[in-house]
Amino acid sequence: MEFTFNKEQLAWQKKAREFSNEIIRPASVERDLIADPAKTFDWEIIRKGSQLGFRTLAVPKKWGGHGLDLVTQVLVMVELARGDASISKTFSQCWKWSQLIAAVCTDEQKERFLKPFIADETYLLGLGANEPSGGSDNRMPPEDAPTAGMRLKAERQGDEWILNGEKCFIANGNIAKLLFIRARTNPAVSVRSGTTLFLVPRDTPGFRVGRVFNKNGWRFYQNAELIFENARIPHSNLVGKVNGGAEARGGDPSQFSDLELGANALGVCDAAVEMAMQRIKQRHYGGHPLLEQQTIQLKLSRMHMLTEALRSFMLRVAWERDQAVAGNADYLKSANNMLALTFSADTVQSVTNLNMEIHGACTGGAHPAAYKLVRDAIIWTHLAGDSVNRIKGIKSVMSHAH
Ligand SMILES: Cc1cc2nc3c(=O)[nH]c(=O)nc-3n(C[C@H](O)[C@H](O)[C@H](O)COP(=O)(O)OP(=O)(O)OC[C@H]3O[C@@H](n4cnc5c(N)ncnc54)[C@H](O)[C@@H]3O)c2cc1C
């Protein structure tokens, strides 16, 4: 395995670091402290990032994007997240879903949706699966029971599909111009075999956005309710096959989902280590800097050790998946995939807690940035399901054990 980066990867990493230092970081705490969750968002940051290619970097070159591999996506994500994990995540939503359009949609759909996405600096993307009645049951037992999983219904009428129901907590839900929506097309079978994926433009008749959720962390990131009341979707917006919703997503080896969350966590860990380092140099007791205290050194070394372990893990998963995209499907069997997400949740929470300890009682008041990192880290608990996901990771380890 080769962990030296090529010139293109290093150039993207540098560009992302500069954008993060100059544009994201100065806005981060200020945006986080805005009370109304629908007002924390800032289109100017998206426009500027978009001009530098941070919105469209995963679209293949053939379709006008930058075609970056997953290792480079990880490098960029880490830098953006060092500035703010909810701003990086707003951009990376677009990487995942534009890549999905490129991987599984027809050329006609790519013409209709990828071209305007590339051209418009404010064109954002999202995907809605989660619903008020539940989220984990789309992938956890009893996922095979017809009664488990999403309920939003799609019924065919001539050349259209009529959608009725609700999605909740959908990222970029209130600001995206295009959303992938997974809906029930056969209620008599499991969610795996009875759902279909649709492309839903923002201006679809019968579709509207409900409330924006007020989260304690990732406050810039917009999570919204999506409401479908006889929403009319043309048949030409169906992705893949009827009842092939799970297959359409699962068939794409270039998925960034868990890597995205791991790389985002890594950026937060980097920020926490940097912040703790500054603090222990500046804070003095009895004329000595805090960094001379052995217990403080132990805490800092633990933060550093966990951060570097996460970095190695994420780059390895990214590298393995890039090999799979390049045609070596064996790498997709890697047991690392599900465990990457839960390891990043554990790591980001431990590292940000240690940073909070090092900042002492000032964390909540004089150091809102340290406190923000802890609140941001809590978000990892519920992303794509909580630590129960380890069960899937362990099943994967067992099924591939020799
Ligand atoms: C910041 C953020 C962004 C998100 N963005 C999106 C998005 O863009 N699109 C989208 O579709 N969703 C999104 N989600 C939703 C996310 O996918 C769900 O939160 C997640 O699937 C968990 O669902 P839930 O919150 O309904 O929890 P529930 O499913 O209600 O789970 C609650 C608890 O029960 C446990 N549990 C549930 N079933 C089982 C089981 N069978 N066995 C054991 N324990 C079980 C869970 O582990 C958990 O501890 C987002 C969530 C967050 C926090």
Which residues face 161 on adjacent strands?
156, 233
Class in CATH terms, 7-124: mainly alpha
Ranges of the chain with pLDDT below 70: 1-2, 141, 251, 333-335, 337, 361-366, 384-402
Pocket test for ligand 1, best of 94, 95, 127, 130 (most atoms within 8 A of CB): 130
Q: What is the pLDDT of residues 283-341, one digit of tens each?
A: 888 888 888 999 999 999 999 999 999 999 999 999 988 988 888 777 776 667 678 88
Atom of ligand 1 nearest to the CA of 126: 8
Query: What is the model's pTM?
Result: 0.94
When the candidates are 1.20.140.10, 1.10.10.10, 3.40.640.10, 3.40.50.300, the CATH number that belongs to 253-400 is 1.20.140.10
Distance from the CA of 216 to the center of ligand 1, in angstroms? 16
Helix/strand/coil (H/E/C) assignment for every residue in 192-246: CCCEEEEEEECCCCCEEEEEECCCCCCCCCCEEEEEEEEEEEEHHHEECCCCCHH
Q: What is the structure's pLDDT at 366?
A: 64
Q: How far is Cα 94 from Cα 100, in angstroms, rounded to an integer? A: 10
Structure tokens at 223: 């999570």
Atom of ligand 1 nearest to the CA of 93: 8
CA 209 to chain centre: 21
Q: How far is Cα 255 from Cα 325, in angstroms, rounded to an integer? A: 9
Superfamily of domain 126-243: Butyryl-CoA Dehydrogenase, subunit A, domain 2 (2.40.110.10)
Q: What is the structure's pLDDT at 363?
A: 47
Q: List every span in the chain annotated with CATH 1.10.540.10.
A: 7-124
Q: Cβ atoms within 10 A of the Cβ of 339, count?
A: 21
Q: List every span in the chain annotated with CATH 2.40.110.10.
A: 126-243
Q: What is the structure's pLDDT at 280?
A: 92
Q: What is the structure's pLDDT at 361?
A: 66
| Ligand 1 residue neighbourhood (C-beta within 6 Å) | 126-130, 134-137, 140-141, 169-171, 218, 223, 379, 382-386, 388
Backbone angles phi, psi at 212, to 5 degrees: -100, 130
Cβ–Cβ < 8 Å for 171, 264: no
Q: How far is Cα 152 from Cα 174, in angstroms, rounded to an integer? A: 18
Distance from the CA of 15 to the center of ligand 1, in angstroms? 34
Atom of ligand 1 nearest to the CA of 221: 1
Q: What is the structure's pLDDT at 368?
A: 86
Give the orientation angle of helix 43-51 with respect to helix 85-104, to 10 degrees: 60
Q: List every span in the chain annotated with CATH 1.20.140.10.
A: 253-400
